[in-house]
Amino acid sequence: MQTQLQPKQQEIILEKLYSGEITSEDALTRLTPEPEFKGLKKARFVKIKIDLPNESRKLNFFLKALLSIPLPIGLAKLGVRLMNKSVKKGALSQKALANAPEDKKAEITEKMKSAETSLNDFDFNELYNYLRYAKNTTIDIDSNDAKIKIKIR
């Protein structure tokens, strides 16, 4: 790590630049000190709020009660790993089709095809790696189906 240069040293570098001994890029790197790198703070907890406006009050109350306390970051990372495995296997679509009524299976199949392509494009491993150092991050997801707020602390 480079410290701040003395005025005398700065003058010498500028004179070398003026005389053509060094290039302007070289002078710039010599004159500007390298920034101090401070390590990233590790996240410890995840606070999740989910509101489903189209669902019953009981379900919303259950979700709020279940997620009222912050979750340790380890549980969030475990959830990301499990989600990655289930998306790779296609387990989400198989479970949804098995529980669906016969008359709606074709409609559900079409919706799942579009959802699976977007989930397959998503890199869960990258999310898993960044989740540990995402302290003081807030994610707001607002759609017609759900309002989700995730705070990483």
What stretch of H or E contains 90? none
Decide: 135 and 42 in contact? Cβ < 8 Å: yes
Question: Which burial class, exposed, middle or buried, applies to 84 when counting CB atoms under 10 A from its CB (0-12, 13-18, 19+)?
Answer: middle
- Structure confidence at residue 92 (pLDDT): 56
| Same structural domain, 76 and 34 | no
pLDDT tens digit sequence for 53-92? 888 899 999 999 999 999 999 898 898 888 788 777 765 5
| Same structural domain, 122 and 90 | yes
| Same structural domain, 19 and 86 | no
- Structure confidence at residue 114 (pLDDT): 65
Domain that holds residue 93: 45-152
| Same structural domain, 65 and 91 | yes
How many domains, in total, are found in the chain? 2
**Phi, psi at 124, each rounded to 5°:** -70, -30
| Same structural domain, 27 and 52 | no
| Same structural domain, 15 and 67 | no
pTM of the model: 0.55
Decide: 69 and 63 in contact? Cβ < 8 Å: no
